[in-house]
Amino acid sequence: MPHAADKADQLWWKGAVIYQIYPRSFQDSNDDGIGDLNGITQRLDHIARLGADAIWISPFFTSPMRDFGYDIADYCDVDPIFGTLADFDALVARAHALGLKVTIDQVYAHSSDQHDWFAQSRASRSGEKADWYVWADPKADGTPPNNWQSVFGGPAWTWDARRGQYYMHQFLTSQPQLNVHNPQVQDALLDVMRFWLDRGVDGFRLDALNHAMHDPDFRDNPPAPDDGSPRTRPFDYQIKRYSQSHPGVVPFVERIRALCDAYGAIFTVAEVGGALAEEEMKAYTAGDKRLNSAYGFTFLYAPALTPALVAETVDRWPDEPGMGWPSWAFENHDAPRALSRWCAPEDRPAFARMKMALLMALRGNAILYQGEELGITQVDIPFERLQDPEAIANWPLTLSRDGARTPLPWSADAKQAGFSGVEPWLPHGEDHLALAVDAQERDPESLLHFSRAMLALRKANPALRHGALDIIVADAACLAFRRTSGDQSLLCIFNLSRAAIAWPAGVDGSGRILSAVNGAAPGDLQPYAALLIEQ
């Protein structure tokens, strides 16, 4: 039956399903082993059929590829390995024709050391762009100005003989830190955003946004207490109190929102990690003058999916005035595939269905990483095939990001699984051919067909798309919550364990069943069962 709509229906992004594309591994159109923009355009029908509302494309900008595109040498051009600006324009046109919005990554904390801005900045202490990056004099003994450490290992400072100073980098030495405190730098970054808005982009994912500003006094970070967790990098030994998370990010966020509002319904979502992630996510999205949404790493690195984890996470984002709108991702290009973290191999088919149903039932935007709709698993990449600089530097203690970046399998019987006509930049997973798109198209019981059904269900029900969420049960295995919007009320109940469990006492299971997953029925919760009931 139809249900009353509210103002949220007018915001295309609120409750949207956003499909993340890692362009190197989506589709290779020119047989060089690397995916590209034309390949994305060729395969957009797959995403439209899935039922996603938008795509998010990871960086495709001009880059030396030290960090595979997150080191940008020109913010306003396409790297030749991915194509041209004309190819991007064609991609946008095709996506819009299919009803898909287009969001792209923006990386404002740092650039590549090959960017012309950095070349000018390092050339002179008095030049026009001298203060566009973070520079500091050495201590009297020649050592770096403070104890800050980089995420990828080693000091966050590299000596530059041209200026006779250290420059800051929170990641690779080839990713110098932009001085986003500088209003001129902010203006230049907003011009970048304007460039892509003028090309028809519908939104932005802001990479590592809480890394964008530092303490101008360069105070030392305090040591982090030993909590028993493995420490694989010097970065893990510090509380990042001064090297990131400066409150000055918030006024910059408000400038971003003002620009995007001038272009209409543009979606902005921040990626925020670290110990203060939740606090910063809320600060960046509070009210109606900041970003639309934010997401962190709560689920991306969680070793297990538990009712307590879900309940505690969603409870922190209540449906209250002034509270930001969350986004959720179970997988992305930086985190291990969820099925390889959260269940035993023999449980993957059932678990994948339950997981997809849960993601589609949560309040907030759902971000699907390419291949998640197929049940793709983490690939064990041998050391000699590693591309990820972090994994190479910290081998074997850091789990390779490459294992989640392998090429998508399109055809079970085609050469290189239909991704390319030549050997791809990363190997296919041995178990991925059986999960190929064409194989799942032929199987009406496949995860791909199930995923389409779940996305359609979310889109058809206002309570799932943007309604309130109230936890009812969150015990050792059972998670139950209610989604409500207008006159619609849905009971969503999940068994997150591999054993059958009793129906929770006092929970009314009557009503119209919208979805019954893995043999679920009112009063009967089989392993990894899920039920969505309209009441």
Beta-carbon contacts of 371 under 8 Å, excluding residues fewer than 6 positions away, are 337, 408
> What is the token pair recorded at 251?
């006024």
pTM value > 0.85: yes
CA dihedral 82, 83, 85, 90 (to 10 degrees): -100
Q: Specify whether 271 is catalytic.
A: yes
Among 36, 207, 388, 402, which one carries the catalytic annotation? 207
Query: In 198-276, where does DSSP find H-type helix?
Result: 249-262
Q: What is the C-alpha to C-alpha distance for residues 307 and 288, in angstroms, rounded to an integer? A: 31
Q: What is the structure's pLDDT at 394? A: 73
Type and span of the H or E element at 473: strand 468-474
Tell me, letter by letter, the H, E, C secondary structure of 125-169. CCCCCCCCECEECCCCCCCCCCCCECCCCCECEEEECCCCEEEEC
Domains and CATH numbers, the chain: 7-111+183-458 (3.20.20.80), 469-534 (2.60.40.1180)
Q: What is the C-alpha to C-alpha distance for residues 378 and 399, in angstroms, rounded to an integer? A: 10
Cβ atoms within 10 Å of 507's Cβ, excluding its own: 15
Q: What is the C-alpha to C-alpha distance for residues 332 and 269, in angstroms, rounded to an integer? A: 15
> What is the token pair recorded at 350?
């059932």
Q: What is the C-alpha to C-alpha distance for residues 364 and 323, in angstroms, rounded to an integer? A: 12
- Sign, CA torsion 281/282/283/285: positive
CA distances from 266 to 54, 188, 270, 304, 533 (A): 12, 19, 13, 34, 33
Q: What is the structure's pLDDT at 8? A: 47
Note the Cα 420 to chain centre separation in Å. 25
**Buried/exposed code over 433-464 (b: 16+ C-beta within 10 A; e: otherwise):** eebbbebbeeeeebbbebbbebbebbbebbbb
Q: What is the C-alpha to C-alpha distance for residues 498 and 518, in angstroms, rounded to an integer? A: 11
CA distances from 416 to 51, 382, 428 (A): 26, 18, 8
Q: Specify whether 202 is catalytic.
A: no
Query: In 343-491, where does DSSP find H-type helix?
Result: 348-361, 389-393, 437-441, 447-460, 462-466
Q: What is the structure's pLDDT at 1? A: 41
Among 79, 105, 113, 271, which one carries the catalytic annotation? 271
From the list 139, 199, 203, the residue with the least C-alpha distance to 166 is: 139
Q: What is the C-alpha to C-alpha distance for residues 462 and 9, in angstroms, rounded to an integer? A: 8
> What is the token pair recorded at 308?
């307590």
Check: CB of residue 412 under 8 Å from CB of residue 440: no
Rg (CA), the chain: 23
Q: Which residues of the chain have pLDDT under 70?
A: 1-9, 397-398
Number of H helices, E strands in the chain: 14, 18
From the list 518, 479, 497, 519, the residue with the least C-alpha distance to 343 is: 497
Note the Cα 15 to chain centre separation in Å. 16
The owner of tokens 């360069």 is 218
Q: What is the structure's pLDDT at 65? A: 96
Q: What is the C-alpha to C-alpha distance for residues 477 and 229, in angstroms, rounded to an integer? A: 25
Q: What is the separation, in whole angstroms, between the first and last Cα of the chain?
A: 12
Q: What is the C-alpha to C-alpha distance for residues 113 and 71, in angstroms, rounded to an integer? A: 8
